Amino acid sequence: RGVTACFEAGEVAFVEGPNGAGKSTLLAILGTRLRPTAGTVDYAGIDQDVLSVRAELGWLAHDLRVYAELTARENVELWSRLQGVEPEVSWGPVAARLGLTEFADQPVRTLSRGQRQRVALAKAVVHSPSLLLLDEPTTGLDVESVARVERLLCEERDRGATIVVVNHTPGFAERVGGRRLRLERGRFES
Q: According to the model, what pLDDT value does residue 48 have?
A: 80
pLDDT tens per residue across span 32-91: 999 888 888 988 877 788 898 999 999 999 889 999 999 999 999 999 999 999 999 999
Read off the amino acid at residue 117.
Q
pLDDT tens per residue across span 122-167: 999 999 999 999 999 999 999 999 999 999 999 999 999 999 999 8
Read off the amino acid at residue 157.
R
Task: Give the H or E element holding residue 165.
Answer: strand 162-166
Helix axes 87-98, 113-125, angle to 10 degrees: 130
Closest CA to 67 of 124, 105, 116: 116
Q: What is the pTM of this model?
A: 0.93
Backbone region of residue 117 per phi and psi (left: phi > 0; alpha: psi in -120 to 50; beta: other values): alpha
Q: Quick one: pLDDT band at residue 190, thresholds 50, 70, 90?
A: low
